[in-house]
């Protein structure tokens, strides 16, 4: 694979998949989903921050873009062109790369009151998010 694959990408699909991945995070980390458990596991204060800056949203959006872009590049290189192939691609990248990386860095973070819970919630988000992104990319390729 070379960087020329960037010219073969469906950039609208990459944008939509990135936004869907990011939006999943807004639901995933909400109090009614895993937000309270994540806050407790991370040791963060549960009161809302007084000021939410651009960085609060820009950094997660940028990471979702990078992960979605890499998934799209692998999808083009592997001829992923159906929704089910996209689901499988996202699941493989999520469970095979994102989950182990996120889990090992989170599970051994002894600054957290519940490092395994912290790691599991973060890793689960990326597995589901990449599966969602893969499905969108596979459908639109």
Predicted confidence (pLDDT) per residue in 89-114, tens digit: 999 999 999 999 998 988 888 899 99
Predicted confidence (pLDDT) per residue in 65-90, tens digit: 999 999 999 999 999 999 999 999 99
For the chain, the domain total comes to: 1
- Whether residue 3 lies inside any domain: the answer is no
Domain region containing 102: 9-45+53-140
- Whether residue 20 lies inside any domain: the answer is yes
- Whether residue 2 lies inside any domain: the answer is no
- Whether residue 1 lies inside any domain: the answer is no
What was the pLDDT predicted at 3?
Answer: 79
CB-based contacts of 127-130 (< 8 A; 24+ apart in sequence): 127/91, 127/94, 127/95, 127/98, 127/99, 128/24, 128/28, 128/94, 129/21, 129/24, 129/25, 129/28, 129/64, 129/67, 129/94, 130/21, 130/67, 130/71, 130/90, 130/91, 130/93, 130/94, 130/98
């Amino acid at each position: 694979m070379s960087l020329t694959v960037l010219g073969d990408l469906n950039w609208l699909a990459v944008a939509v998949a990135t936004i869907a991945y990011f939006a999943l995070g807004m639901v995933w980390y909400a109090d009614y989903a895993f937000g309270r458990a994540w806050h407790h596991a991370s040791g963060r204060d549960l009161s809302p921050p007084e000021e939410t800056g651009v960085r609060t949203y820009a950094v997660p959006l940028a990471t979702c873009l990078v992960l979605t872009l890499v998934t799209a590049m692998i999808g083009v290189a592997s001829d992923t062109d159906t929704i089910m192939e996209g689901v499988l691609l996202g699941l493989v990248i999520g469970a095979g790369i994102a989950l182990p990386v996120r889990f090992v860095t989170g599970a051994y973070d002894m600054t957290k009151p519940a490092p395994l819970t912290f790691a599991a919630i973060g890793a689960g988000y990326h597995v589901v998010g990449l599966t969602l992104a893969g499905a969108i990319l596979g459908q639109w390729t």
